[in-house]
Structure 1
């Protein structure tokens, strides 16, 4: 099973998310006190699209780095796969790289 991690948009502080847990609207970063339930921490945030949001039904939010009440918010997470021994898996990368060795 993967380890689900989340990073603060402001300072990059890594945090662990429990499966099924959500970031609440009043949650803040333990390191820099930035709001966590904000556009810049959402998986739908994209500065290159209209309203900077890939969720088409979401309402426009003016301050992307402040807490908001968007019902479509989903934390922008990163999943790290680990072997049963606990070491990060890199076998696939090694095999991929070996395909292009001369």
Structure 2
């Protein structure tokens, strides 16, 4: 039974029986390498070496191909995997702790500072 996986770059689908593409296999939609850290279920930017599995080899280009034997394609679409900007993620976590963030104060022009 074929399973569907999604490219980290374009969210294009890739169907295969296994969760491991070939080392040099590319996305048919955008040409990005499929066997890369950004597509791996163990990719964790906050962990040492940005990988959940300790003692993996260092990979300089997280979007480029690598030869990691631990690679497994992540499940779900990039949107489901929380591919949001760090600022958005931090804001959501902060809002969860203290409630909604207040609206920022209206910006004033430089001339408004010196008016009576």
1:66 match: 64
Which entry has the higher C-alpha Rg, 1 or 2? 2
- Structure 2 Cα separation of the partners of residues 16 and 61 of structure 1: 26
TM-score, normalised relative to structure 1? 0.67
1:27 match: 25
Task: Give the unaligned 5+ runs of structure 1.
Answer: 79-102
TM-score, normalised relative to structure 2? 0.60
- Say which is worse superposed, 68-77 or 34-43, in terms of deviation: 68-77
Shift of 1:3: 6.6
Could you say which structure has the greater relative contact order, defined with CA pairs below 8 angstroms and 6 or more residues apart?
1
Shift of 1:57: 2.5
Task: Give the unaligned 5+ runs of structure 2.
Answer: 77-116
Shift of 1:69: 0.8
- Cα deviation code 1:42-87 (max 9, x no counterpart): 1100111111100112111110000011111111123xxxxxxxxx
2:7 match: 8
